[in-house]
Every structure is written in structure tokens, then in C-alpha cells.
Amino acid sequence: MIIAIIAQSFNLDTGKVKGNAREEIIDTSKNDLFKNCSTLTEIVEVYWFFWNKLPTIQKELVLVQTVRVIKK
């Protein structure tokens, strides 16, 4: 499945927008991070976890605004 995710980053302390919303195209059949996802909800959860729960110092919060299927 090929999907488009639009996400935006926010300041962790103030909640203010930190950057413009960006669209990312993901081919779940080629991206190991999403290989076990079968629903859009699962894809969004994995995306959110990747950007917000990495074992690093978090400087922003990334929130998904939209997700849509481009090709099944």
C-alpha cells in the first residue's frame, strides 16, 4: 500500500507550531517500519511512535494531520 501522511511539528513546551506541515509518501511494502501494518490507524500509530518516542532527546512533537491511501 502506498500512503500519504501530512504531519506537522510543534514546540513541546508551548504547543506552538514549529514547522510547516509536510507530506510524506510511504510505500508500506518497501518500508520495514510499516511491514506489519494493515490499517491506516496502525500506520499512523507507527509513524507517531517513530517521530515521538525514539530513544533520543525529543525537541518537538510531531502530529499527523491527515493520512490517505494513494494505491492499495
The confidence score (pLDDT) of residue 14 equals 92
**With bands split at pLDDT 50, 70 and 90, how would you rate the model's confidence at 12?**
confident
Distances in Å between the alpha carbon of 19 and those of 11, 32, 42, 51?
9, 27, 25, 14
pLDDT at 18 over 80: yes
Q: For the segment 25-41, what is each residue's pLDDT rounded down to a tens digit? A: 999 999 999 999 999 99
pLDDT at 57 over 90: no
**Would strands 2-11 and 60-71 be described as parallel, antiparallel, or unpaired?**
antiparallel
10 closest CA partner among 22, 2, 18, 21: 18
The confidence score (pLDDT) of residue 19 equals 87
* Cell numbers 502530529: residue: 63
